[in-house]
Amino acid sequence: MMVHMPGYYFGILDANGCTSPLDLPGGDISITAFPFYVTNSRVAFVETWQEPSPNWPLIFTANIPAGGTYELLFWPISRQPEFNIGLFAITGLQRWPGPNSGEYHFLARAPEDKNAGGSIHIKSHLDKTLVGHELGHAFFSRNTSVSFAASDYSIADAWPCNAGGVGGHDIDSTEYAQSTFTEAVATYYAAVSWNYRDQDGDCWLYHPGYPTGVNCDGGQTALPLAFMKNKCSPWTGRGVEIDWLRALWNIRTSGAKTSDNSLLNWIDAAPNAYTLTNTYSNLDAAANTMGGALNTNWDTTKVTNGLNP
């Protein structure tokens, strides 16, 4: 975050949360913190609509001893969601060393969760998966050159594939394949942010509908593998987010692991413009064009997760 200590320091803390070495007198020092972060040449800037100001700095006093190194522990509380969101955001951006050098804007405490007009509105600062997911939308929007994204959630399938109903969506709801893939890559970004790649592929995410967590690698009782194929209505041209999420995680963690950027290149390599229903065939062809580990892993996981018609 950006920190101002009048007379001594005004700048952005490094990746370890440290200032440069400072020559400070012992005693009370006033510190102003701003929810502004930079990591890997990327900027995450968090604003709030909450009073008293749109860019709410946090001003506090620290008693700093003379001499040596002083570590100030900073625990944002619930009234400071913009700091929590910023910390979540830079965790995600640090974990994915992709090519982007742009800015990511978050608006905290909006009345509803949504992603609109280039800004990300997050209602709750408590939901790690949600914050990573919304950052994922921004990440894939900035780092792919084609328009694969869609937000048509009009399909209302039968239980247990009906979460979200008409106009809504969730990790377990049937939607058009393009909309599903748009949401799955966003949740995949959350998975990358909060799980290590090398723990035997193991992957878990918080989800309010699944109190013991969502397994983003393997099947679980409530969310078996190939969920759409096994649990939902006839599905050509459709998808369910959990299936695509697991497929993306498998591409990342199986066999010869793919590079982070190969996934972005894969999306860009699609031979046809994306439509609501051609996502599978388009990406299947793109995988053949890509070849290598991505294609090998894709050919396995597309079957495991029931993406192949």
Name the residues that contact Zn ion, by CB under 5 A. 183, 186
Three-class secondary structure assignment of the chain: CEEEECCCEEEECCCCCCCCCCCCCCEEEEEEEECEEEECCEEEEEEECCCCCCCCCEEEEEEECCCCCCCCCCCCCCCCHHHHHHHHHHHHHHHCCCCCCCEEEEEECCCCCEEECCEEEECCCCCHHHHHHHHHHHHHHHHCCCCCCCCCCCCCCCCCCCCCCCCCCCCCCEEEHHHHHHHHHHHHHHHHHHCCCCCCCCCEECCCCCCCCEECCCCCCCCCCCHHHHHCCCCCCEEEHHHHHHHHHHHHHCCCCCCHHHHHHHHHCCCCCCCCCCHHHHHHHHHHHHCHHHHHHHHHHHHHCCCCC
| CB-nearer residue toward Zn ion: 193 or 254 | 193
Find the shortest distance in angstroms from Cβ 129 to Zn ion: 11
Find the shortest distance in angstroms from Cβ 40 to Zn ion: 23
| CB-nearer residue toward Zn ion: 205 or 290 | 205
| CB-nearer residue toward Zn ion: 276 or 293 | 276
| CB-nearer residue toward Zn ion: 9 or 206 | 206
Residue 293: other Cβ atoms inside 10 A: 17
| CB-nearer residue toward Zn ion: 129 or 297 | 129
Measure the CA angle with vertex 80, ends 135 and 26; round to 5°: 115
| CB-nearer residue toward Zn ion: 3 or 186 | 186
Find the shortest distance in angstroms from Cβ 151 to Zn ion: 8
Find the shortest distance in angstroms from Cβ 189 to Zn ion: 10
Q: How far apart are CA 185 and CA 216, in angstroms?
A: 12
Amino acid at 49: W
Find the shortest distance in angstroms from Cβ 248 to Zn ion: 14
Find the shortest distance in angstroms from Cβ 11 to Zn ion: 34
Find the shortest distance in angstroms from Cβ 136 to Zn ion: 8
Question: Would you state the structure tokens that stand for residue 30, as one six-digit string?
Answer: 């006033």
| CB-nearer residue toward Zn ion: 31 or 149 | 149
| CB-nearer residue toward Zn ion: 157 or 183 | 183
Question: Would you state the structure tokens that stand for residue 88, as one six-digit string?
Answer: 């979540």
Find the shortest distance in angstroms from Cβ 88 to Zn ion: 15
Find the shortest distance in angstroms from Cβ 296 to Zn ion: 29
Residue 198, Cα to own-chain centre: how many angstroms? 19
| CB-nearer residue toward Zn ion: 183 or 243 | 183
Max alpha carbon distance in the chain (Å)?
Answer: 71
